C-alpha cells in the first residue's frame, strides 16, 4: 500500500503546474480595450456643446469600472462612417444634428442597431415649450416621457414597427453599476425631499427607448452631458441649477386666477396623467396644475452643494447607461 501511494505522489510531482484561470469568463473580456463613438456636430447647427463632457465621462468609467475604456471617442461624421462598426456604443447630442436621414444612412443605422449597436441620444426628450429653441433645449428639460417629434419620425423609417417607450423605474439600466442617489444629506432642506421622492426617485431619470430583440438599441433622455465635464484641475466646468415644484397654503386659489405671459402646455407624465404647465417668457415654466387638482409653482435653487450633487448624479447616470449598453 505504501508503495502504491509513493508511486502516485511521484506521478503527481512529475505533472506540469496548472496555471489558475479566471473563474468569470467576463473578467478577461473586461480587460480588452473598448472604444466607443461620438457623432460630430453638423456645421449647420450650433456646434459642439460641452466639448470635454463625453471624454470626461469615459475617463471616469475607465477609472471606476473594470471596463478598459479608451477616453478618446471615435469621432464619426455620420452613420455612413465605416468606423461605426467598431463602436458598440455611440453618443449623440440631439441639438447638434439634424435628424433627417438619407436612404443610405437609414440602411447603415438599421444594420448597426440590428447587429447589436447602442445609440444614446442625449437631449432627445425636450419639453414642448422649448421645441424650436435649440439652444434653450440644451439647458432645460421637463420630462414628457416622449422622444421629440423629429426623432419619432426619423426612427419610424429606420426601424419600422418599433416605437419609443418609457423606461420603467425598475429597469436594470438604472442599476447597471451605481445604485440609488448620491449622498442627499449634502442637499439643502428646500430641495432634498422633492429630489428623493419626485425628481430622481431611487436614482432614476426620464428616458425612452426602442428595443430590439428585448434589448435597448436606442435610448433618449433629457440633456445630461452638462454634468460630466471637468477642467484640467478636476473642477466641474459649469454650474447647474435645481428646478423643483413647491406648494403652500392657499396657493391653489391664487394660481387658478393668475395671469401668465407665456404659453400653456399639457405634459404627459409617466403614469399617463397630464400636468398643465403655465409658462413665462423666455420659455420657462412658472407653475403647474397636476392631475390630482394640486397647484404648485416652479422654484429655481442655486448653490455649490446643489450643483456638485447634480454633477455627481449625472456622471453616475451616464456611467450606468454606458455600462448597461456594453453588458446587456
The closest alpha carbon to 240, from 255, 226, 258, 254, belongs to 226
The structure's pTM equals 0.85
Domain extent listing, the chain: 33-240+302-327, 242-301
**Most confident region among 31-35, 36-40, 280-284 by mean pLDDT:** 36-40
More confident residue, 81 or 127: 81
3-state SS record for the chain: CHHHHHHHHHHHHHCCCCCCCCCCHHHHHHCCEECCEEECCCCCCCCCCCCCHHHHHHHHHHHHCCCEECCCCEEECCCCCHHHHHCCEEEEEHHHCCCCCCHHHHHHHHHHHHCCCEEEEECCCCCHHHCCCHHHHCCCCCCCCCCCHHHHHHHHHHCCCCCCEECCCCCHHHHCCCCCCCCHHHCCHHHHHHHHHHHCHHHCCCCEEEEECCEEEEEEECCCHHHCCECCCCCECCCCCEEEEECCCCHHHHHHCCCCCCCEEEEECCCCCEEEEEEECCCEEEEEECCCCCEEEEEEECCHHHHHHHHHHHHHHHHHHHHHHHHC
The residue written with cell numbers 387658478 in the block is 256
- Answer CATH for 33-240+302-327 from 1.20.58.220, 3.40.50.12140, 3.90.420.10, 3.30.70.2860: 3.40.50.12140
Residues 286-305 have a mean pLDDT of 91
List, for residues 124-154, the tens digit of each pLDDT value.
987 766 666 555 544 455 667 788 899 999 9
Residue-level pLDDT at 19: 29
More confident residue, 226 or 19: 226
Rounded percentage of the chain residues whose pLDDT exceeds 70: 83
Residues 192-201 have a mean pLDDT of 93
Amino acid at each position: 500500500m505504501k508503495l502504491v501511494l509513493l508511486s502516485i505522489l511521484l506521478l503527481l510531482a512529475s505533472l506540469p503546474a496548472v496555471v489558475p484561470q479566471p473563474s468569470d469568463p467576463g473578467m478577461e473580456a473586461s480587460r480588452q480595450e473598448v472604444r466607443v463613438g461620438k457623432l460630430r456636430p453638423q456645421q449647420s447647427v450650433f456646434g459642439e456643446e460641452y466639448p470635454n463632457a463625453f471624454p470626461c465621462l469615459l475617463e471616469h468609467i475607465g477609472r471606476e469600472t473594470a471596463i478598459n475604456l479608451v477616453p478618446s471617442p471615435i469621432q464619426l461624421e455620420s452613420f455612413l462612417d465605416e468606423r461605426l462598426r467598431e463602436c458598440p456604443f455611440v453618443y449623440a447630442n440631439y441639438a447638434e444634428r439634424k435628424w433627417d436621414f438619407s436612404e443610405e444612412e437609414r440602411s447603415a443605422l438599421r444594420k448597426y442597431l440590428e447587429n447589436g449597436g447602442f445609440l444614446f441620444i442625449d437631449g432627445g426628450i425636450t419639453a414642448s415649450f422649448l421645441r424650436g429653441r435649440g439652444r434653450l433645449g440644451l439647458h432645460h428639460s421637463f420630462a414628457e416621457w416622449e422622444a421629440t417629434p423629429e426623432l419619432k419620425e426619423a426612427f419610424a423609417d429606420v426601424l419600422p414597427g418599433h416605437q419609443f417607450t418609457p423606461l420603467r423605474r425598475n429597469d436594470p439600466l438604472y442599476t447597471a453599476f451605481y445604485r440609488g442617489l448620491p449622498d442627499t444629506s449634502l442637499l439643502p432642506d428646500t430641495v432634498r425631499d422633492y429630489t428623493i421622492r419626485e425628481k430622481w426617485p431611487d436614482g432614476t431619470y426620464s428616458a425612452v427607448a426602442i428595443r430590439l430583440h428585448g434589448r435597448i438599441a436606442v435610448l433618449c433622455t433629457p440633456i445630461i452631458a452638462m454634468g460630466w465635464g471637468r477642467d484640467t484641475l478636476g473642477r466641474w466646468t459649469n454650474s447647474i441649477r435645481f428646478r423643483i415644484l413647491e406648494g403652500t397654503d392657499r396657493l391653489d386659489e391664487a394660481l387658478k386666477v393668475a395671469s401668465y405671459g407665456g404659453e400653456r402646455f399639457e405634459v404627459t407624465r409617466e403614469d399617463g396623467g397630464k400636468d398643465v404647465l403655465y409658462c413665462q417668457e423666455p420659455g420657462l415654466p412658472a407653475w403647474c396644475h397636476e392631475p390630482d387638482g394640486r397647484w404648485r409653482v416652479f422654484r429655481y435653487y442655486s448653490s455649490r452643494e446643489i450643483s456638485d450633487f447634480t454633477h455627481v448624479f449625472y456622471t453616475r447616470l451616464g456611467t450606468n447607461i454606458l455600462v448597461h449598453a456594453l453588458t446587456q
